[in-house]
Structure 1
């Protein structure tokens, strides 16, 4: 499932997925996560999709 990092709330990352937001622990994300990143969530692994971010910008 893919999502867009909307904002940070302390140790929480708010990700928009299919028009709805989910709050996930920042510890699940790579250290270089930033607002606006496109991510793919596969089980308990989160991958930053750099190529898709470049297409959105």
Structure 2
């Protein structure tokens, strides 16, 4: 089992970041609701969205943005 984060979509592919590497995954293989920033879990042929990890990551990014732009 491995995890990756959707960085962006390009045509029929999602560009997924795995630690220090990027990999193109066909969008048709992903859950239909998959979006940029979602954390994906790859378990054999099954790909799911880790909703808890995605929410945690989004909150961390939001907190960092708040710190950057805090007046």
TM-score (norm. length: structure 2): 0.77
The structure where helix makes up a greater share of residues is 2
Partner of 1:14: helix, strand, or coil? strand
Q: Report which structure shows greater RCO (CA 8 Å, sep ≥6).
A: 1
**How many residue pairs get matched?**
57
- Structure with more strand by fraction: 1
TM-score with structure 1 length normalisation?
Answer: 0.94
- The C-alpha deviation readout for 1:1-26, integer Å capped at 9, x for no partner, is 00000000111011000110000111
> Larger radius of gyration, structure 1 or 2?
2
Q: CA RMSD in A?
A: 0.7
After TM superposition, the runs of 4+ consecutive aligned structure 1 residues lying more than 3 A away are: none
- Structure 1 gaps of 5+ residues are none
